[in-house]
Every structure is written in C-alpha cells, then in structure tokens.
Structure 1
Amino acid sequence: MMFVTLQKLTALTVIFCLFPNLTWGKETVTLCAEPIKVGFNDWAPYSWIDTSDNAVGLDVDMLTLIAANLGCEVDFIKMPVKRAHQMLKVGSLDMLMGASYTKDRNEYAYFSKSYRDEEIRLFVTADKASEITINQWQDIFNKKLTLLAPSYGWYGKDYLKSKAELIRQNLLVISPTTVQSVQMLAYGRGDILIGDAISLPYVANHSEDVAITPLALIVDSNKIHFMISKKAHHSELLEEIDQAISTLSNHGALARVVNKWQQISVAKTLKPCKEIIPSTGLDGAINITGHGSNSYVK
C-alpha cells in the first residue's frame, strides 16, 4: 500500500500560483483535525503515481484545491478499487474520488455535489474519422463495426443491453486495460473504441502516440462526485466540501483544472504495454491479455 502525503503549505503554494485571484473562505479555521484519507488507483489523467511517487492527476488536483479551501490536508492512498470501497464502508478511508452515484453506494457513503461531468464516447483513429460515422447505437450492428472495450468500466445502458448480441455477432473485442484497447485500434484489430471522453484521448496521445477522434454520438453522460464514508461520521465535512465546490466553481477554478489536464503533456509517466496475447473468453468475446494501466470503475 502506498501513502502519498501532500503537505498543506506545499499544496497552498501551488494552488495560489495557479489561481492567484481566488479568495479563500477558510483561512484560519481548520475543519480537519487529521488529514483526509483518500483511496485511489491508477487511472490517467484522473489519478496515478508519478515518477517521484506523488499522487497526480485531474481528480487529485480537484480534491487538493477543495481541501486547501477548507484548510485541510489530504493523504492519497493507492489501492485496488474493490479494496477502497470496502475500506470506505468500514470507515478506514474517509473519501473516494471520481464516483458516479448508485443506490448501493449510497448505503455506505455520502455523495458530494458534482464537481465535474463525465461523457462516454466512441472513438476512431484520426485517419478514419471521415470514413466511419455513428449517429445511433444501432449503427454498430447495421455497419458491422467491431467495437473495442476495456473490460473494467461503465459504458452506458445501450452497451449493457446489447453486449451479448455484440458478442454473438463477433463485434466485440474486450481487453483488460485502456492502453491495450488503444493499441488494438491502432493495429486495426477493431473499428471503434468506447470509453471516457477525457481519459481515452489522453492515453492514446501520451502512451501510444496515437491520434484518435470522437464520433458524434454521446453514448452516456454522468455527474461525478466525491464519496464520503458514513462510518467515519463526516456529515459536517460533506457540507463544507459542497460549499467549497460551489465557491470554486463560481470562481472558475475547477474549470481551469479540467482545462489544464486537457493541455498538459506528461507522456513519461505512462508506460505502454509491450505484449498482446489474444484469447477467447468464456462469454464468447475476444479477450486480450498483457500488461498495462487499468481503468477505474465508475
């Protein structure tokens, strides 16, 4: 288990440099007696560990900004997704980032206000952008297009409902990582790639040096929240975080974080997969095994 502690002074120095005109509402009163313990996993560009063993990414910046507004420190703790949710349930963790609301999760966690939006899109390589068009989900079947999908992720109701039929018609190729799915698209092993609208272009450009283009269809869209453990008795923290999200949104600070990560170039922090081994899964879909970065379950 890897612990990455961001000291308050360092965080504030960075944030004041990025947002010099922002007025802070929590300058003298500290809400948190101890650092907020936040679980996360590798999912560029939202969160991962850089070469200096620091937590970095869009969501990391978002939460660091919000915590600094409250006068709090944050301990970012890297761990698998399932373990993070279990620890949140029992109160061993205070928060998780990058979460979509579900009724099941609401049983053990409070949900903050939405701090960013998520879109699920279909992508093609840039050279195929004029050749492949999809205006509705059924076009995948009508045009017999092969869909590439990382195994770990939520891709909307249309994908869920039609997954079995995609498999039956040999139109679905599943791989365990986003990196490998991007590689498959580049190698012509599929026609279209499904995934997060920010993460996929980032991984394609900075890990594989592949230019990809989104198609017109928005497959799914979600509001993204912080999850706060109910066992940790942080209902007062929820209220303060919600207020900080509103304040920072009104000042445009959260939008500037998103813009920063759309432009930043940190290619050396991502290591592409070098080995691709196709196989047939038990469900009939083609599966790809190898090594690479896993995507985060929303």
Structure 2
Amino acid sequence: MSLFKYVPVLLLLFLALPAKSALQVNSPLPCHKTIKVGYNDWPPYAWQDPQGEAQGLDVDLMRAFAVYLGCEINFINVPAKRSHQMLKAGQLDVLMGATMTDERQAYAHFSSYYRDEELRLFVLDEQKDQINIDKWEDIFTKKLRLLVPSSGWYGADYQESQYRLEQEHLLVLSPDSDKSVQMLTYGRGDMIVGDTMAMPYIASQHQHIKLVPLKLVLDQNHIHLMLSKASMTPSQLEQFNQAIKALMDNGEITRVINKWQQMSLAKQSNMSRLNSPLKTLYVSP
C-alpha cells in the first residue's frame, strides 16, 4: 500500500521535468551565440592596433561585461556610418560608446549608461590666447571656422545651427577626428569640436601636438551600449544592464576609466614639453 501511496507524487515530478528542461533551453540567455561588437577608430575609446586587435577604454569595458556574463564576443572594425546600418540590419549585435537619440532608439535598445561624455571646442596651444568664446553665438560674431567630423553628435547648438554655419562659410567638415586635427594644423579651421578625452588624445598620440579646450561646454551626455533590435532581445538587454551595474558597484568601471584618463593626461603632458616648432612637424599638402 505504501508504494501506491507515493505513485501520484512521483508521476507529478516526472511530468514536471520536461517542462523545466524546455524552459532552460528556450530561455533568452545573453550568450547563446558569439556577440558581434562593432567599433570604429575613436581613441582612446576604441581603435584597431597594428596586429588587428581592438584596443581602448570602451573595448576594455566591453570585455569586462562579456567576462561577467560568460559571453564570447567578436570585435569588428567598421566605419561609423556603416556600423549603424549594420546594427539596424542585425549584422552587428552591439555598438559601444553611444549617445541616446530618438532616431537611434528606432532600431536599437539602449543599455544603462556606463560612463559620461563632455563635448567642447579646442584650439591649438599656440592660439589659446587669441581665440576665446563665451557663448555659441560668438562663433558667428567673430567669424570663427569650425572643424567638425562628419559623423557623430556634437550638441544641440551645433545641430540647430548647422545650416547657418554652412551658409556663412564657417563649417568645415572632415571625415573623422584625426583628419580634423590635421586640418587644424594646416590652418583650414580655427577650432575643432570633440570629446574632452578623445580629441586631446588623438592630437597628442597621432599628430604630436597639444590642443587646449575652450571654457564653453557644448554638451554633456550619458554613454550607453546600443543593442540591435533585429538581433538582440529585451531580456538580453537586461542581462547587460545587470553586468553594467555589477561592474559599477565593484569599482571596475571606475578603475578602467581612471586608467585611460591617466594615460591621456600623460600623453598631453609629453606634448607640452616638446619644443620643436609646428612647421617642422607638418608640411602642408
């Protein structure tokens, strides 16, 4: 009699097992596949080294998120505009270092922010006493030519007055930040717009010159991961948010950011000790 007493209980346990197993197989885990992470050359946040490996602040953080989640990731170097098209089509799963906009939210999930960004105007060190602006309108009243990389977000003031800058011949577009710095040294613009860490880093590392930021702050934004709506689910987004929170709480994100800030400051300090005149470093084409 005791055997029959427990048969219904055993039968219920047996019937429950397949359902639990199916739930595990179908659960939207963040790493059911290798995650394709797009990036473009934007030091010190991301760039491709001579060996073809991704390097940079955002790259280090993305690797840390992947380790926390147990993810396999594949970094793919692509131009900025193309990377967004690939994310929209699901050919890339994640983009790093993104500012949230309404347009981008149409095709991407945005993670919790993991760092901040500040945009400012920069001039060559030797011109810091000649060029000063207190407000955006001073660009027009003083007829200052503004060098702007063609892809990116540069604040509401720039967005709203881009057409006016073009009409008054004060806007000089460039393919990227590196080329913008080169053009600044050639005298093709008076100022350059960019991220407060990236622009001085690019100038010192790639062009061996020192840039000085003007006091006007153009914009301040939280920076996020973008996950493709075509290839990544809201559940996967939540997993990445958990990783960001965990690494924020344990200090790993702060440690990585501080490391790259110190490296950037060190490179700029080295530039301030260079005594070679600018004309010996550059020859106009």
Give the structure-1-normalised TM-score: 0.73
> Which one-letter code corresponds to 1:79 in the other structure?
V
The two structures, once aligned, show a CA RMSD in angstroms of 2.5
Which residue does the alignment assign to 1:23? none
Mapped to 2, the partners of 1:159 and 1:40 lie a distance apart of 24
CA distance change for structure 1 residues 276 and 65 in 2, over 3 Å: closer, same or farther?
farther
Rg larger in 1 or in 2? 2
Moved more, 45-54 or 256-265: 256-265
Q: How does 1:1-298 map to 2 (within 5 A)?
A: 31-264=30-263
Higher fraction of helix? 2
- Give the SS at the match of 1:149: strand
Mapped to 1, the partners of 2:120 and 2:156 lie a distance apart of 13
Give the structure-2-normalised TM-score: 0.77
CA distance change for structure 1 residues 85 and 164 in 2, over 3 Å: closer, same or farther?
closer
How far off its partner does 1:144 sit? 2.3
Mapped to 2, the partners of 1:63 and 1:81 lie a distance apart of 18
- Give the SS at the match of 1:219: strand
Instruction: Structure 2: state its 5+ residue gaps.
Output: 1-28, 268-281
Conservation of the 8 A alpha-carbon contact between 1:180 and 1:276:
no
Write the deviation string for residues 22-79 of structure 1: whole angstroms up to 9, x where unpaired: xxxxxxxx85233221122222222221011111111111111111111222111122
Mapped to 1, the partners of 2:258 and 2:46 lie a distance apart of 16
Mapped to 2, the partners of 1:107 and 1:69 lie a distance apart of 28
Mapped to 1, the partners of 2:44 and 2:56 lie a distance apart of 5
How far off its partner does 1:132 sit? 2.2
Mapped to 2, the partners of 1:156 and 1:217 lie a distance apart of 12
Mapped to 2, the partners of 1:136 and 1:239 lie a distance apart of 40
CA distance change for structure 1 residues 31 and 201 in 2, over 3 Å: closer, same or farther?
same
Moved more, 246-255 or 184-193: 184-193
Mapped to 1, the partners of 2:85 and 2:180 lie a distance apart of 29
Identity %: 50
Q: Aligned residue pairs: how many?
A: 243
> Which one-letter code corresponds to 1:223 in the other structure?
H
- Give the SS at the match of 1:101: coil
- Give the SS at the match of 1:33: coil
Conservation of the 8 A alpha-carbon contact between 2:119 and 2:193:
yes
- Give the SS at the match of 1:264: helix
